[in-house]
Structure 1
Amino acid sequence: MRLTAGTPSRLGASWDGRGTNFALFSANAEKVELCLFDGQGRRELERVELPERTEDVWHGYLNDVSPGQLYGYRVHGPYHPEHGHRFNANKLLLDPYARRLAGRLVWSDAHFGYRAGSSREDLSFDRRDNARGMPKAVVVDETFNWGRREMRPNIAWEDTIIYEAHVRGLTQKRDDVPPGLRGTYGGLASPAMIDHLKRLGVTTIELLPIHGLIDDRALVERKLVNYWGYNTLAFFAPEARYALDNPLDAFRTTVARLHDAGIEVMLDVVYNHTAEGNHLGPTLSFRGIDNASYYWLKPDNRRFYDDFTGCGSSVNLAHPRVLQMVMDSLRYWVEVCHVDGFRFDLATTLARGPNGYDRNAAFLTAVRQDPVLATVKLVAEPWDLGMGGYQVGAFPSQWSEWNDRYRSAIRRYWSGEGSLIGEISSRMTASSDLFHHDNRATRAGINHITVHDGFTLADLFSYNEKHNEANGEDNRDGSSHNHSTNCGHEGPTDDAAIVALRRQLRKNQLACLMLAQGTPLVLAGDEVGNSQNGNNNAYCQDNEIGWVGWDNLGKEGEDLTDFIGHLTGLRRRFGQIRCQRWLDGRRADGSYGVLWLTPAAEEMKESDWKFPEGRFLSYVLGPMEQGQEPIFIVLNAAPEEIAFKLPKMTNYKSWHEVLNTTENPAATPDFAAGADMKAPPRSVLAFAGSA
């Protein structure tokens, strides 16, 4: 028989070498039809009603369907938005478990379940067929030859240095990447890029979303695209726009080559909302399959969505089948694609229950016990836009979290704000006030100065105001609170003093990032002074605004690649920076974890922390084990030179300068303990103790 019941045990389209099993969850559907298309996705060849329903999974097995077959679903059921149901069998729907997409979404009013423009969508059911403009799912063969050499690098958390990058933006303007590979998965693993990553000393590349996505209609009408990719429609399919041919194999080949180079691959994943938007959005997949199950709906009016994300809707992981989809997706990327970790966008939404964020939510509990996810890195963006959404420090011990408190404090400090040395001391020592609880380690905080969202490092010291006019939203989008400084001139300048100051401040920020305890994250392009011309929200700029500009690569003074390489080398040399144990002060036996010192090299008292407008901070991180060197760190954010003494420490007679961020650092001989020194204006210094 051609059509049999098949199995509900594996959702999606599963080819077994002889035929394909199709399974789709919908608790409220009345009938599910599988639609098979020709190789171009233009003509619907056949509709097959799935014959069985088991625990709300509709399923069937076709013994003549093989890899390459294009398909979609039509799901029958009630169209009652006021009750949360938005079924419309006139709309072809994408399989939530699609492993590959064929074609792009071509926008038209036919994609909406109601007559677009109607004031009441529940009164205007739309009967137009949208199949011609819909991407189709593709049956795939998941087998792949990883080769004998491929092994996950398994970088320890204490050694991890993350490099956040966009697949296209990283290599699109890189001349030493072959033209055919620029902007693709393959470009990430080109010899030139691997060599660059190794020079930097980073261990882990974190990719902005690569799950199958669509471009918002409003952006397309403005001739823009959803460049960053936070508009997911397919949680199992690598985005095809970054591949020359088969995106799944192209991505896995890239992972294998990066692993061969000892570099981990993390994915930024967006499970908090989908591309379907709010109640007036299109019906493309989840909304038409089972709206009431997949999304958080307003309990008092189920026509509308509970929107914790700012994107119109929120995915309901409190539902067991929706949770299953997310967990299946995560395991798929680990087991089938060998990724090494995930950064979860707006992670608070994933852990919401009826009463808000819940540290024991179903999602966090499922992750905690999962043996596959126990082997990878998990990073939360610990906030969303809902009530009680800011949860920095509140995730379980298995997780690390983006530490925006580090970003804010360190930006304010180097932009010239005083009276911050107390907070800076905490941010430079793993933010124990936020993360030192529940057996968490210092790696809990992901320190960052810049990320995709906001100013680049160069723009942070070139602009006082955002300049997002190219986005077509009258400069209303993007944050207006950037803690930036233009150093006396808005935008580019030929003033040598301003150029030098900006370069100095960039180096100071990078130095603090690598000398701080916690896990550092570097934004791609910051090493070469990449600018977005003051645009702090380049989410729609798939062009030279959003791409990394490599013009300064190799340019003396502007290319900080080797400077960062030196900093990552210091981080490897001084284990107390990477140590996963929390620091303490002076111990009974005279040893110490950290000593906070005045410019006179005396241990700081309460009054010293309250020094008016204080901008100078110095401290020693003591050896954590036998034979380890202490490191003395000096941060001078003052606009003037400040005199200080090198500390006198038991067993250490001299100090050797290992870092000086000034433009023309002096020679670096050994200095006697107790020697008088001067910290140049706006500088970071570091010294290693010598016996």
Structure 2
Amino acid sequence: MGATVSEGGVTFTVFSRNGERVLLCLFDETGDTEIARLPLPCRSGDIHHGFLPGAGAGLRYGLRVEGPWQPEQGHRFDPSKLLVDPYATLLDRAFLWDPQLARHGQETADLVPRCIVAGRPSPHPEEGRLEGSGSEPPRLIYELAVRSFTMRHPAVPERLRGTLAALMEPAIVAHLHRLGAGHVELMPIAAWMDERHLPPLGLANAWGYNPVNFFAPDPRLAPGGGADLRRLCGAYARAGIGVILDVVLNHTAESDEYGATIGLRGLDNAVYYRHAADDPGRLVNDTGCGHTVALDRAPVVRMAMDALRHWRSLGVAGFRFDLGTVMGRTETGFSQDAPLFAAILQDPDLSRSILIAEPWDIGPGGYQLGHFPAPFAEWNGRYRDDVRRFWRGDAGMAGALATRLSGSSDLFAIRHRGPNASVNFLAAHDGFTLTDLVSYAAKHNEANGEENRDGDNDSHSWNNGIEGASPDPAVTEARNRDIRALLATLFLSRGIPMLTAGDEFGRTQHGNNNAYAQDNAGFWLDWERADDALIGFVAALAKLRREHPLLTADSFLTGAGEPPDALWLKPDGSRIGDGDWNGLDAFCLLLNGRDESLLVAVNRGREGVPLALAGEGWEKLLTSADGVGSELPVRSVSLWRLPRPS
């Protein structure tokens, strides 16, 4: 599919079931002037194709499709619209929203980026995914947005800021090594376009969750296209770091029926997007973005699979799937046996890559946490909420925290998956930062231009007495204590920890819990004000996970064995019964292994608690807050170790 260079020319292949004729539009070397418009001469079923002799890599082109304009039947063909080849792997410029893109009959050739025919990749690239590197289960996932992460970094040359190349700078790699990040999860890098309401507000999409094409990197992030990603993956693989791509297959930037026609809509709207069964003209909006890609239909499954294989060929270790429930949607709802899941799981390469689902969308039955097929891991929203609620002080949350600390067996054991099916996180790109979580009791999204209506209304956050930035040292100390307790909880929990870039040094979004539209200096990571002591604390936590396998074992606790693999205890050493969890502010998890025992001790109370368990022979490995002797400090998490006799 797409444009394929072969001896003597280029073959162009395009899917359109309901289109009558596909036109290939050729442009000059600058992309400014259309020099030819050629109908693809052959059709094999739903595939339109043709061979252009004498053409080669570097040719600029676009597509147009002739067909019926019948919106009530789902058909929106409009040959006045220049379209991007969904299989193009290289584009000559970024997408910019313009109202003409959505007006039927309006010419858009001057608004749409040109596809560029890419040359054949080397079959044995020197740079790319290295065998045995990057595809092992993640030990720590570090989520970052390329622009936000690099635009204000003092060690990154200005000419590289905001690009994939910036991530290869020595200071960046050194920071990742210091944190012990085994995998970097790049927020979407595929070519995207701003939502149509943003430019009039003077805002721009900062996250990339609005793709136009599933194969081509955005030219703003990767001016060299896929080659830039290949170089990054190769450099990181040699540094012992894998690259996970956050991919958006569930929707595109074409939005609802009032949105643009720049790609799939103009190629075959009725096939690529899901429509209501009783109303072929009405788009199904399970994504909240105006429509839903029909990922259960054969040509769409093929496109998604080809896109994943393409990114893998450039060196990525795996994928995080945005609104992953859409991947399992069929006409009758969500299914583990949906066509896209089946295709991925039978693929000899993709089935062995890292696969992580965001297990929800906004459609009926959209929250599917725990229901994805192995070997998928899942973002554990229950972990995030339960941990937040416990440390906020909500009543009756001790038992819930214990379940999350031990790997969330309630969610994953029933389907015979272990704790590593759970991607544990406290904060992510979407929502409060970790610092804002303990500084704002409510969202402050006024900068987004929607009168604070957007974003989550129940983030389980708190402000330690003052909303927002505080000059009070006591408030600052309380917030720092809470942040360290939260981080210690994350790293001492079974499952895969994920940390969002900047949360290790105190980043803030000024109370904005939906900063998708804030691509500006006020929201880029402020490296100059990074809290180095907090970075060191995170690095120490990551080191503990590497050195003590009891913390990372991919098995659930049973309480069986001699000694038992785990015991839940009160600080005085007595066991916690089933009816004892309500009202507990302090408790301990005793883990017993072959070589050592570990004691994870939690105290969310406002007073220190004596710890009778940590007696002779016990060594304190870490505490999130200063305390005296074996006391559990106020608002803290501690880790103790007892070597077992050999």
TM range (shorter): over 0.9
State the 1:477 CA deviation.
0.6
Contact 1:206/1:267 (CA < 8 Å) preserved in 2?
A: yes
Q: 2:404 aligns with which of 427, 448, 458?
A: 427
Distance 2:135 2:266 in 1: 43
Report the counterpart of residue 538 of structure 2 in structure 1.
564
Cα distance in 1 for partners of 2:58, 2:333 equals 43
Output the CA distance in 2 between the equivalents of 1:687 and 1:69: 63
Provide the C-alpha distance between the structure 1 equivalents of 2:475 and 2:52, rounded to a whole number of angstroms.
69
Q: Deviation per CA, 1:536-572, whole angstroms, max 9, x where unpaired?
A: 111011112331111333x56xx41111111111111
Give CA deviations for 1:99-138 in whole Å, capped at 9, x if unaligned: 1111233444432253xxxxxxxxxxx2x21111111111
Matched, 1:658 2:625: no
- The separation in 2 between residues aligned to 1:385 and 1:41, in whole angstroms, is 40
* 1: CA distance, partners of 2:196 / 2:549: 50
**Which of 612, 622, 638 is the equivalent residue of 1:685?**
638
Quote the residue 1:235 is aligned against.
214
Residue of structure 1 aligned with 2:42, choices 43, 46, 52: 52
Equivalent position amino acid for 2:243 in 1: V
Cross-structure match for 1:632: 599
Query: Quick check: 1:606 aligned with 2:578?
Result: yes
Task: Show the counterpart of 1:20.
Answer: 10
Aligned residues: 643
Give the CA deviation at 1:143: 2.2
TM-score normalized by the length of structure 1? 0.91
Partner of 2:269: 291
Answer whether contact 1:158 1:580 (CA < 8 A) is retained: no
Question: Distance between the aligned counterparts of 1:518 and 1:157, measured in 2?
Answer: 14
Tell me the equivalent position of 1:643.
610
Counterpart amino acid of 2:577? Answer: K
Percent sequence identity over aligned pairs: 40
2:29 alignment partner in structure 1: 39
The structural deviation recorded for 1:180 is 1.9
Query: Which residue number in structure 1 is paired with residue 509 of structure 2?
Result: 532
Query: How far apart in 2 are the matches of 1:325 and 1:607?
Result: 53
Residue 150 of structure 1 deviates from its aligned partner by 6.3
Q: Conserved in 1, the CA contact under 8 Å of 2:559 and 2:567? A: yes
SS of alignment partner, residue 637 of structure 2: strand
Match of 1:581 in 2: 555
Pick one of 48, 69, 72 that aligns with 1:79.
69
What's the offset of the Cα at 1:603? 1.9
Structure 2: gaps (5+ residues): none
Contact 2:133–2:241 (CA under 8 A) maintained in structure 1 = no
Query: How far off its partner does 1:149 sit?
Result: 9.3
Contact 2:135-2:354 within 8 A present in 1 as well: no
Match of 1:446 in 2: 423
After TM superposition, the runs of 4+ consecutive aligned structure 1 residues lying more than 4 A away are 155-159
Q: Paired residue for 1:123?
A: none
Alignment of 1:383-422 (within 5 A): 383-422=360-399
Match of 2:163 among 167, 175, 184: 184
2:283 pairs, out of 282, 285, 305, with 305
Contact 1:642/1:678 (8 A) holds in 2: yes
The two structures, once aligned, show a CA RMSD in angstroms of 1.6
Matched residue SS, 2:642: strand
Partner Cα distance (1:286, 1:495) in 2: 54
1:97 aligns with 2:87: yes
Give CA-to-partner distance per residue, 1:259-298, whole Å, 9 cap, x none: 1111000011100011101111111111111111000011
- One-letter code of the match for 2:83? L
Query: Does the alignment pair 1:333 with 2:307?
Result: no
CA distance in 1, matches of 2:86, 2:469: 46
Residues in 2 aligned to 1:153 and 1:165: alpha-carbon distance in whole angstroms: 24
Task: State which of 313, 335, 340 in structure 2 corresponds to 1:358.
Answer: 335
Task: Provide the C-alpha distance between the structure 1 equivalents of 2:378 and 2:274, rounded to a whole number of angstroms.
Answer: 24
SS of the aligned residue for 1:606 comes to coil
Is the contact between residue 568 and residue 575 of structure 2 (CA under 8 Å) also seen in structure 1? yes
Q: Distance in 1 between matches of 2:162 and 2:79?
A: 38
Letter aligned with residue 30 of structure 2: Q
Q: Shift of residue 63 of structure 1?
A: 1.8
Asked if the contact 1:104–1:133 (Cα under 8 Å) also holds between the matched residues in 2, the reply is no
1:644 Cα deviation (Å)?
2.5
Call closer, same or farther: CA 1:265–1:159 in 2, change over 3 Å. Answer: closer
Q: Given the alignment, which residue of 566, 577, 587 partners 1:617?
A: 587
Greater Cα offset, 390-399 or 153-162: 153-162
**TM-score under structure 2 length normalisation:** 0.97
In 2, the alpha carbon distance for the partners of 1:360 and 1:150 equals 29
Deviation at 1:157, TM superposition (A): 5.1
Cα drift, residue 607 of structure 1: 3.0
Provide, for residues 217-247 of structure 1, a one-character-per-residue CA deviation record: whole Å limited to 9, x for no partner: 221121111110111001000111113x413
1:459–1:238 CA distance, 2 compared to 1 (3 A): same
Matches of 2:560 and 2:614, distance apart in 1: 15
Whether the 8 Å contact between 2:296 and 2:329 is mirrored in structure 1 is: yes
